[in-house]
């Protein structure tokens, strides 16, 4: 398997001040495709398009409905998703994707 670096970034849930961790799957022209693990038992995992708020050092939902990708970007997203699902040991997965409230 190719080496894949997973980058976690702070993401502000839309309509709230709550921050959660998200994983950057792809970036293109100032937009980022993020995987956001379900923040609680009432919501599901989400793929979202976000933009970086540099001043606040976090990512926020972008007002966009399209994210252009070429073949190489799709291949890279596939590698990242494969690393998330298979490449991490169970303990690494839980450490990397644990809920904020877990210690």
Mean pLDDT of the chain: 80
Whole-model pTM: value is 0.69
* Residue 62 domain flag: yes
Could you report the per-residue pLDDT of 62-101, keeping only the tens digit for each?
987 777 777 888 888 888 777 766 656 667 666 766 655 5
In-domain check, residue 48: yes
| Beta partners for residue 59, in sequence order | 11, 52
10-55 confidence digits (pLDDT tens): 999 998 999 999 988 888 888 898 988 877 888 888 889 999 999 9
Q: Does residue 77 sit within a domain?
A: yes
Q: Which domain holds residue 27?
A: 8-96
> Does 22 map to a domain?
yes
In a domain, 2, yes or no: no
Domain contains 87: yes
Residue 103 lies in a domain: no
**Domain contains 23:** yes
Report d(CA 69, CA 74) in Å as an integer: 7
């Amino acid at each position: 398997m190719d080496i894949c670096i997973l980058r976690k970034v702070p993401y502000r849930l839309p309509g709230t001040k709550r921050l959660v961790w998200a994983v950057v799957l792809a970036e293109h022209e100032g937009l980022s495709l993020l995987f956001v693990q379900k923040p609680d038992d009432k919501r599901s995992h989400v793929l979202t398009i976000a933009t970086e708020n540099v001043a606040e050092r976090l990512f926020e939902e972008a007002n966009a409905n399209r994210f252009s990708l070429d073949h190489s970007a799709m291949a890279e997203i596939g590698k990242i998703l494969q690393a998330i699902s298979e490449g991490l040991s169970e303990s690494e997965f839980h450490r990397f994707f644990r809920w904020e409230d877990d210690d």
